[in-house]
Amino acid sequence: MPLVIGLIKASLPSYFPERHGVFDAALAALEEIAGACGARIVEAEGVPMTGAEAQQALDQCRGQGAEFILLLHGGFTMGDVARQIALSDLPIGVWATPEPGHEGDIQLNNFVSLNMSLSIARGVRDLRRNPVQWYFGAPEDTALRARLGRSFRALSARAALRDARVGVIGGLAPTFYNMAVSPDTLKRATGVEPVHVDMHRLTATMAACGAEPVAQEVAAMAARAEVRGVSDAQMALTARAALALRQIVAEDGFAGLAVSDWPALQDDPGMHPGAAFTWLEEVDNLPLASEGDVLGTVTQIVTRALTGRVGSLLDMTSPQLDADRILMWHGGGGPLYMGGAEAAWINHPMIGRGTPDGPRFGAIADFVFPDGPHTVLRVARSGSAAFGFEAEVRAGDESGFTGCRGWVTDFRSARGAHSAGDIVTSVMEHGLDHHFVLVPGSFASDFREFAAWMAMEPLEIISEHDGLANGIG
């Protein structure tokens, strides 16, 4: 469902937003920005002058499904209007436009009103649970438009988590204690509810898949990427896993899945579902995490809301600090769009390794991420914290381990440039889980905005020296 933004216009009659076209220009800009973000605008009637009228306007917006309230100061507004809206439990923003001129009688007095409204709002709201944001600029201002767009994308991600259900099939991978979540904390912090699904339901649903749908799914997979050495039987099991997981999502209304891909599935029915994960991420744009990583799935839901696509859930595998680069890799999963035309289906290179039969539990996707800007993201600490940065994927002299992989370098955050040592120090000092979502493009600012609206703790990059010297987190 698209984000619904409720617009409430405000001004005293002794100021002149209509004379200067403030309301019309603002609404036109908002509709354009919201449309680009997949959101829509609903508008309260009239211009409230009192707290009671502000409540009526708020109720009108709620009645039209508004999940975010934007209070537009067209002209100076009395404090009881802002106060009444700030007392709501909805996320709110306050926008003021600049003066049309700076001679003669003042026309709008909007910045002073914005100053007062924000001060009032911050006084009456629990900012740990319900942040408030402010905006200052003309409707045609490029920076203002970018700021509003960032907020709308972030709020869309916030809405995507509200009451979302994540299917946890089989539970955590054995001993992966760091990726355990508190369901209560997760629900309270994000609205997400993890729901246990027995592994036997998956295997039974796989077994019940008809031969024709399985054959069709295998053919579609083979048409999209080359099959290299994977047996027909393993490709059929992969297709069965994809069909079964898709059915479970549809039956239970899950927003995403966290699946324990080992070791149970190697015992029965004798496969690894990594290629099925890739296929569902690619074709269904399904947020999905391996190894029962619930917060990995939550991060994928957020990633999809911010960027339009899920990313690849990876390990930060091999830092080369002298070369200022880190290999991001995982042995399975990762949507095909991130690998271009060179992607292939191969047998899982590790599961079965060291046994008499060798690596026989196919299949996974094998590809290298193309060069270019990417963002690394992680929702952490049962949904109460967020970590992210931007980097460049750049091919090195070694392609990286078999699976989905790429070297990242040129690390950046809101605090500036960072080294690979800074990133490693931050991951260790913050005690972060060992999965991160990599997605093409530059979205760290959107993710920071999302974290602000969620009242998540931002986990900043720690410099290599400070982290190692002081042990701070």
Phi and psi, residue 390, nearest 5°: -110, 155
Query: Minimal CA–CA distance to 7: which of 52, 53, 68?
Result: 68
Neighbours of 284 (CB within 10 A): 15
Residue ranges, CATH 3.40.275.10, the chain: 165-470
Q: Is this structure's pTM higher than 0.75?
A: yes
User: Six-digit token pair at 230?
Assistant: 């994977």
**Bridge partners (DSSP) listed for residue 177:** none
Query: Minimal CA–CA distance to 97: which of 133, 132, 71, 73?
Result: 73
Residue ranges, CATH 3.40.50.1070, the chain: 4-161
Class of domain 165-470: alpha beta
SS3 string, the chain, reads CCCEEEEEEECCCCCCCCCCCHHHHHHHHHHHHHHHCCCEEEECCCCCCCHHHHHHHHHHHHHCCCCEEEEEECCCCCHHHHHHHHCCCCCEEEEECCCCCCCCCCCCCHHHHHHHHHHHHHHHCCCCCCCEEEEECCCCCHHHHHHHHHHHHHHHHHHHHCCCEEEEECCCCCCCHHHCCCHHHHHHHHCCEEEEECHHHHHHHHHHCCHHHHHHHHHHHHHHCEEECCCHHHHHHHHHHHHHHHHHHHHHCCCEEEECCCCHHHHCCCCCCHHHHHHHHHHCCCCEEECCCHHHHHHHHHHHHHHCCCCEEEEEEEEEHHHCEEEEEECCCCCHHHCHHHCEEEECCCCCCCCCCCCCCEEEEEEECCCEEEEEEEEEHHHCEEEEEEEEECCCCCCCCCCEEEEEEEEEECCEEECHHHHHHHHHHCCCCCCEEEEECCCHHHHHHHHHHCCCEECCCCCHHHHHHHCCC
Residue 392: the pLDDT is 98
Residues 138 and 151: their CA atoms lie apart, in Å, by 16
Residue 117: the pLDDT is 95
Query: Minimal CA–CA distance to 97: which of 37, 27, 156?
Result: 27
8 Å CB contact between 143 and 110: no
> 175: phi > 0 → left, psi -120 to 50 → alpha, else beta; which?
left
Q: The dihedral of CA 94, 100, 104, 107: what is its sign?
A: negative
**Count, residues in the chain:** 473
pLDDT tens across the length of the chain (473 residues): 789 999 999 999 998 988 989 999 999 999 999 999 999 999 999 999 999 999 999 999 999 999 999 999 999 999 999 999 999 999 999 999 999 989 888 898 999 999 999 999 999 998 878 889 999 999 999 999 999 999 999 999 999 999 999 999 999 998 998 999 999 999 999 999 999 999 999 999 999 999 999 999 999 999 999 999 899 999 999 999 999 999 999 999 999 999 999 888 988 999 999 999 999 999 999 999 999 999 999 999 999 999 999 999 999 999 999 999 999 999 878 999 999 788 999 998 877 666 666 666 779 999 999 999 999 999 999 999 999 999 999 998 888 888 999 999 999 999 999 999 999 999 999 999 999 999 999 999 999 999 999 999 999 999 986 555 444 44
8 Å CB contact between 250 and 233: no
Assigned CATH for 4-161: 3.40.50.1070
Q: What is the pLDDT of residues 153-209, one digit of tens each?
A: 999 999 999 999 999 999 999 899 899 999 999 999 999 999 999 999 999 999 999
Could you give the angle at which helices 22-36 and 142-161 cross, rounded to 10 degrees?
Answer: 50
Neighbours of 63 (CB within 10 A): 11
C-alpha distances out from residue 250 to 14, 256, 278, 406, 471, Å: 56, 10, 18, 33, 46
Q: The dihedral of CA 108, 114, 119, 122: what is its sign?
A: positive
Peptide bond into 323 cis (omega under 30): no
Residue 96: the pLDDT is 96
**Bridge partners (DSSP) listed for residue 39:** none
